[in-house]
Amino acid sequence: MEKTPVNTFPTILRFPQLGSRLANLEAAIPGDPSDYIVQQHGAWWMVTRQNNQETIYAGPGPVQVERTSQRV
């Protein structure tokens, strides 16, 4: 059986759609989930990339950074 490259299954950021309690949005982000720090400050959430301290999300939560199970 052939190994599937890890980057075939992208890392995604899942965050709430503004104005909707039920719908979430997803965005593909580079790297592995372990490359990111997710912090909660009350109702405000921040996602920061560890290697350069870039904030890629700041807003309402909850948020998730995970590897998707779907191929690109």
Could you report the per-residue pLDDT of 34-67, keeping only the tens digit for each? 999 999 999 899 999 999 999 999 999 999 999 9
pLDDT, mean over the chain: 86
The domains of the chain are located at: 11-67
pLDDT of residue 1: 43
The whole-model pTM stands at 0.79
pLDDT in tens, 13-42: 999 988 777 789 999 999 999 999 999 999
**Cα–Cα distance, 42 to 37 (Å, whole number):** 16
Within 8 A by CB and 6+ apart from 59, the residues are: 15, 16, 18, 44, 45
pLDDT of residue 8: 63
